[in-house]
Each structure stands twice: as C-alpha cells, then as structure tokens.
C-alpha cells in the first residue's frame, strides 16, 4: 500500500497562514493515517505500507527553515509511520517512510535540478523490495541512504 498523495504550500514566518498549515496536516499527515487504518483489514502478513514523506521532514537536515506547514505535517507523518511500524510488526506488516528525491513533478514546477519520476520510482521500488520486518520503520531516501530524523 503506497500513500503518495501530498500537498505543499510554502509558508514563511512573515506570512504564517494557520489555515494552510491545518490543510497540510489534513492531507499529508492525517490522510495517510486515515487511509492506512481504513485498509488495515485488507492487509496481511507480508504486506508493506509505504508513506511518502520528504527530506524536508528531517529535523537534523533542516538548514533553510521556512515551509512550516509542509515540514511540520511531514514530521507528523514520519511519527505515524514509526508507530505503525511498531504496532504492525507482530502482524508481519512492514512500514517504510520514503523520500522520493527531488523529482520533476507539478509539486516542484518540474525543476531542472530534479530527477525524473522514472528515476525516482526505480529507487523507490528497490527500497520497497528491500523492506522487511528487520528494518521496518526506517526513513530512507529513494537512493538507499538512511536519512536522519
């Protein structure tokens, strides 16, 4: 099960918009948890749950500030993923918290500095194949690097 949907609304400290922050929490954090919970009866031993987070959710890696709603909501998603990984391990269901890389999509205005969706998906699929109960709950870059929380 791949929870991929997400939104970004860039918010600076000077222009804090709490409705926008709340909206990003709804879509980026609560949505995936809600959907995962709803679909749990259909998952079984050997199933895998993927949460698409972002490197921008890394507290250690935050060197540029800003993006309050996006960063905060994706950190909340990571925490949900960690708890899911612990709660679902006895049922044999593994969870990965994945960063797709900087990817040329609508979200990034198809930035020239990004990788293509095909390149990103190749890495993501490798991580999903690699995922097992021994490292459930890991925060990975699509390229295989383990990211700091």
Instruction: Point out which residues bind ligand NAP (CB under 6 A).
Output: 4-7, 27, 52, 54, 99-100, 102-103, 105-108, 114
DSSP letter string, 65-79: ---HHHHHHHHHHHH
Residue 132 burial (CB count, 10 A): 12
Question: Which residue among the candidates 68, 70, 139, 140 is catalytic per the annotation?
Answer: 70
Output 94 or 124, the one with its CB closest to ligand NAP: 124
Residues in the chain: 149
- Least separation in angstroms between residue 92's CB and ligand NAP is 26
- Least separation in angstroms between residue 122's CB and ligand NAP is 15
Output 102 or 133, the one with its CB closest to ligand NAP: 102
**Residue among 53, 78, 11 nearest 141 (CA):** 53
Q: How far apart are CA 127 and CA 115, in angstroms?
A: 17
Whether residue 70 lies in the annotated active site: yes
Active site residues: 70
């Amino acid at each position: 099960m791949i929870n991929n949907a997400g939104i970004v609304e860039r918010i600076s400290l000077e222009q804090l918009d709490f409705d926008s922050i709340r909206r990003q929490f709804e879509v980026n954090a609560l949505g995936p948890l809600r959907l995962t919970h709803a679909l749990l009866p259909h998952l079984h031993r050997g199933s895998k749950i993927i949460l698409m987070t972002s490197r921008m959710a890394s507290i250690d890696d935050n060197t540029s500030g800003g993006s309050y709603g996006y960063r905060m909501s994706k950190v909340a998603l990571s925490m949900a993923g960690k708890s899911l990984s612990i709660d679902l391990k006895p049922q044999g269901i593994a969870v990965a918290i994945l960063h797709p890389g900087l990817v040329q999509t609508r979200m990034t205005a198809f930035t020239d500095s990004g990788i293509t969706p095909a390149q990103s998906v190749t890495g993501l699929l490798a991580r999903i194949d690699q995922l097992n109960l021994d490292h459930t709950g890991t925060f990975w870059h699509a390229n295989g690097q383990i990211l700091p929380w």
